[in-house]
Structure 1
Amino acid sequence: MSTQEKVKGPASYFPSIEKKYGRPVAEWQQLIADSPLTRHMELVAWLKSEYGLGHGHANALVAHHLAARSK
């Protein structure tokens, strides 16, 4: 990817997620994968309540995880 290409979709949130919460995205993805929850909004609510993520950040992580899992 060239430096002029913009990252789109959920991944566009990843740099700010890592900066704000101090964990790499791979760690968030592993937490989601290890969770017994499977539904999108359940996972979003869990990330918000357990880890203090904002709605947009939690939603981006879950959307990315679920999209990757369905491929």
Structure 2
Amino acid sequence: MSFQAYLDNIQTKTGKAPEDFEALAAEKGFTQDGQIRQGVKATEITNWLKDEYKLGHGHAMAIYAYIKGKRE
């Protein structure tokens, strides 16, 4: 499955685009100025996505990668 397919599936499941998750991560304090804040671990973000949005591990990691800057 391509990275874009993961993002498309997440949007279908949650109704939220990757940009929405990026904004939500900033609201939660995981990011600052578009970067993951120092000391924030991937597990914190993926656990939030799994708990709040019921994403599986692979999909949560795709959103983490997007927040971290991956676009392709």
Shorter chain as denominator, the TM-score bin is 0.5 to 0.7
TM-score, length basis structure 1: 0.67
If you compute each CA radius of gyration, which structure gives the higher value, 1 or 2?
1
State the Cα RMSD in Å. Answer: 2.2
Structure 1, unpaired ranges of 5+: 1-7
Cα contact 2:18–2:66 (8 A) shared by 1: no
Shift, 1:44, TM fit = 0.2
Shift of 1:35: 1.8
Within 5 Å, give how 1:21-60 maps onto structure 2.
21-37=14-30, 38-60=40-62
Aligned residues: 61
* Shift, 1:47, TM fit: 1.0
Compute the displacement of 1:33 (Å).
2.2
Higher strand share: 2
Q: Does 1:18 align with 2:20?
A: no
Using the aligned pairs only, state the percent identity: 33
Q: TM-score, normalised by structure 2?
A: 0.66
Whichever structure has more helix as a proportion of its residues is 1
Pair 1:43–1:16, CA change in 2 (3 A):
same
